[in-house]
Amino acid sequence: MMPGPFELIIILVIVLLLFGGKRLKNIGGDLGGAIKGFKKSMKESEKIDDKDSVIDAKVVKEEDKV
């Protein structure tokens, strides 16, 4: 069961009191940087996988010629 808008406001106020505004800003920035880094590494991984597929295809073609 999802909390309603009133419960969400209470949760946000409690989090703000526990961590403070500056610390929440730092946590948000760190989380955003982590997500950005994860997306970048996923794109690089896809590029590497594509290159490996091309290399594997060339090896298979060369083996068929022999």
Please report, in tens digits, the pLDDT of each residue of the chain (66 residues total).
777 889 999 998 998 898 888 888 898 899 999 999 998 888 877 666 565 555 555 555 555 555
Single pTM value for the model: 0.49
DSSP states along 28-57: HHHHHHHHHHHHHHHHHHHHHHHHHHHHHH
